[in-house]
Structure 1
Amino acid sequence: METEIPALLRLRETIAPERFTFHSSRMRMKHVTKEELAAMDGQSDRCALELSDAQVDVMGYACLVAIMSMGHGYHNQSAKRLHQVTVDNGNPAPVVTSAGALCEGIKAIGAKKVAVVAPYMKPLTAMVVDYIANEGIEVKVSHALEISDNLAVAAHDTGRLPGIVSGLDIADCDAVVLSACVQMPSLAAVSMVEAETRKPVLTASIATTWAMLKALDLPTRVPGGGTLLSGAY
């Protein structure tokens, strides 16, 4: 959230007049387990309150798997609750979640069947697949990198992603989710994987940026942001 989304906004500044500031408040979590994710989500109200003090124009809830671990459709409940926190603080701001944004982004490009690469352990990856399926999107193939340490997720080598995708059977997929996690870097590989697979490629960070721009009623064209940020959606 603190690296690729600002990077995408900087790329957008090269072609559009708007300028952005980026503010963050952290929910604590060290190991990507269901228990720590639930405890982390409990801190989200505090974060929304802190950020609303800055009178931000839009908020993004970064952790996709934290939302998805809370049960089907939780992104809608979370966004509504966090928005109310900003209203109650006198600085109302729309709230988007990476979980909701990814599902909405997949639908926006017309994809019904996807391949998903995730850094999580296999049980959490299966939960993510189930959550996406509940939103009406079929996950034809998924790949779990099985990284439990949150800092190790951030340190994963983006250069490995094209090779990982090339090893998957994505013939029946309409699109590739190159990173179902805003923590795992993937932006530098998006254009390469789109070229190699000849399929739309999106990530949690790309989808969150797209949802934020939509919430701001701004054009959604970002160079290097893949199909979803081509400006067509």
Structure 2
Amino acid sequence: MSSLPDFALSECPAPAPAADTTRVGLIVPSSNTTMETELPELFRRQTEATGHRYTFHSARAGMRRVNPEELRAMVGKAADCAAAVSDADVEVIAYACLVAVMAQGPGAHIQAEAVIAKAAAENGRPAAVTSSAGALVRTLRSMGVRRVSMVTPYMRPLTQMVCDYVTGEGFEVVDAIALEVADNLAVGRLNPENLPEIARGLKRNGVDAVVLSACVQMPSLAAVQCVEDEIGVPVITAATATAFEIFFALGHRPAIKGAGSLLSGVWPRQAGSLAV
């Protein structure tokens, strides 16, 4: 009969004091497999640099296929998800589905963030709120970006809708490549090693930045730094922009290596609105 080996209590790592740990709440599609891996990896690198620790706590809203009907239904569940995740006493909540919000029409991130903030506050656990949709446009604005090219996993009509949304926020979309993957689980299986070659196909003349993944489900973290190094302009993703705003909401300066200049600390976040 096997038994557990003996060990000294001194061999167990001591937990960090509560004051050195921040809880982050996420609202993700039920089929999302990427945001809960890329964000913790980014914040693990932040912990390596600063010593501050972060934990992630998620609520899931049903969504399997990226189409208008399922996206609309997912947005309708935002308040319930916000109340549920706020029970974990998180300091910030990130609504992590860019296209679900943008599909609701111009400026929809403002309303979505307000709904989430209200639900958390009414649950007795107020928190700062961002969304991947709002984070993307606010981050581009705070970086002084005017012209941008993008890669999306969406079908062409949804990609055009994202382009129209970004254009409506005051940016010029020079080019957008649509990978046309409708199943959200399949989006999560896309190989980020293919992104450098895909990015080479973008029209980039005169762009101020490239959005390598306008979707938090499309894996991209492994490619961000190498694409930025190759093309010589800032490269961001929906996930890195969301992380950037989480840091801003917490008052923490990012110090992350290997994820693009945005999270390296060289781009100070300008004053702007986050829902509270």
Q: What interval of TM-score do these two structures reach, taking the shorter chain for normalisation? A: over 0.9
Give 3-state SS (helix, strand or coil) of 2:252's partner.
coil
| Structure 2 residue 118 is matched with structure 1 residue 84 | yes
Query: What is the aligned partner in structure 2 of residue 26 from structure 1?
Result: 60
What's 1:218 paired with? 252
Q: Which residue of 2 aligns with 1:36?
A: 70
Counterpart of 1:230 in structure 2 is 264
SS at match of 1:136: coil
User: What's 2:233 paired with?
Assistant: 199
How far apart are residue 171 of structure 1 and its match?
1.5
What is the aligned counterpart of 2:131 among 97, 101, 122?
97
TM-score of the superposed pair, with normalisation by structure 1: 0.98
- 1:12 CA drift (Å): 0.5
C-alpha displacement of 1:221: 2.4
**CA deviation profile, 1:57-116 (whole Å, cap 9, x unmatched):** 100000000000011001011111110111111110011000000111111221110010
Give unpaired runs (5+ residues) of structure 2. Answer: 1-34, 269-276
Which string of whole-angstrom CA distances, capped at 9 and with x for unpartnered residues, describes residues 4-58 of structure 1? Answer: 1111000111101210010001111111001110011111111101011110010
SS at match of 2:212: strand
The alpha carbon displacement at 1:231 in A equals 1.0
Q: Which moved more, 1:214-223 or 1:182-191?
A: 214-223
One-letter amino acid matched to 1:67: V
Q: Which of 137, 140, 155 is 2:174 aligned to?
A: 140
Measured after TM superposition, the shift of residue 225 of structure 1 is 2.4
Deviation at 1:149, TM superposition (A): 0.3
RMSD: 0.8
Q: Where do 5+ consecutive residues of structure 1 fail to align?
A: none
Identity %: 48
Partners of 2:202 and 2:218 in 1: how far apart? 19
Aligned partners of 1:42 and 1:212: how far apart in 2? Answer: 23
- Which residue does 2:98 correspond to in 1? 64
**Counterpart residue number, 1:185:** 219
**Separation in structure 2 between the aligned mates of residue 192 and residue 230 of structure 1, nearest angstrom:** 14
Distance 1:126 1:229 in 2: 28
Question: What SS is found at the alignment partner of 1:132?
Answer: helix
* TM-score (ref. length: structure 2): 0.83
Aligned partners of 2:78 and 2:115 also within 8 Å: no
CA distance in 1, matches of 2:259, 2:201: 23
**Equivalent position amino acid for 2:206 in 1:** D
Mapped partners of 1:224, 1:137: distance in 2: 27
Separation (CA, whole Å) in 1 of partners of 2:247 and 2:229: 25
Rounded to whole Å, the distance in 2 between the matches of 1:159 and 1:125 is 21
Matched with 2:11 is none
Post-superposition, which runs of at least 4 consecutive aligned residues in structure 1 deviate over 3 A? none
Secondary structure class of the residue paired with 2:63: coil
Q: Does 1:119 align with 2:158?
A: no
In 2: Cα distance, 1:176 partner to 1:167 partner:
12
Amino acid at match of 2:186: A
1:54 corresponds to which residue? 88
Q: C-alpha distance in 1, partners of 2:139/2:215?
A: 14
Instruction: Give secondary structure in 1 for the equivalent of 2:59.
Output: coil
Alignment partner of 1:173 is 2:207 = yes
C-alpha distance in 2, partners of 1:148/1:141?
20
Structure with greater Cα Rg? 2
